[in-house]
Amino acid sequence: QPAILQPLMRQVSFGEEQISSIGRGLCVLLGISVEDTQKDVDYMVRKILNLRLFEDENGRAWSRSVMDRELEVLCVSQFTLQCILKGNKPDFHSAMPAELAQPFYNNMLEQLREAYKAELIKDGQFGAKMQVLIQNDGPVTIQLESPAGPTDPKLLSKQEKQQQRKEKTRSKGPSESSREKAALRSKAGASASSGAEGDVSSEREP
């Protein structure tokens, strides 16, 4: 379930009618896959509301989430994010069919409203060909994709075999050649340092 997040001011219109608009906040362009489940919804809702994409009161960047700042969120369902190119032609068969995607999308909106402030969650018109006006702040665009495990038994079996090989490798002691190389490096007085300046960290969701 890919989504594009953009800090912005924006509005969506259908013809001459303005459907929805927000001030400062997040625009979420959401592509729903045929394989998406409730677990994907839970992940997306949590990330959309908690990603630190905004500055704090002292102007420090990447310090506050949309909830921290009590900003708005505008969601638009966009099946074209599920595009797969076949030559030069886009193919959208991996997108969830509209009759299933609409209740799925509505459920996600409801969860966003329950987890945050309902009046700050806006959306477009599902399935309509809309004109979207975006004022991207930064510009900042974040591509967010919910983690997915393989459902194909062949892929699962391949992953299991790879994991088993890794475990076997870890359980063995260093090989003779490894010990010889280590001894040579030691004799040569070689040393290594990271040379890194600053610190980069990442959070992983279970």
Please spell the DSSP secondary structure of the chain, one letter per residue: -EEEEEEEEEEEEETTEEEEEEEEEEEEEE--BTT--HHHHHHHHHHHHH---B--TT--SS-B-TTTTT-EEEEEE-GGGG-EEETTEEE-TTBPPHHHHHHHHHHHHHHHHHHS-GGGEEE--TT---EEEEEESSS--EEEE------SHHHHHHHHHHHHHHHHHHHSPPPHHHHHHHHHHHHHT--------S--------
Q: Determine the pLDDT at residue 101.
A: 96
Claim: this prediction has a pTM higher than 0.85: no
For residue range 115-134, what is the model confidence (pLDDT) as tens digits? Answer: 999 999 999 888 788 888 88
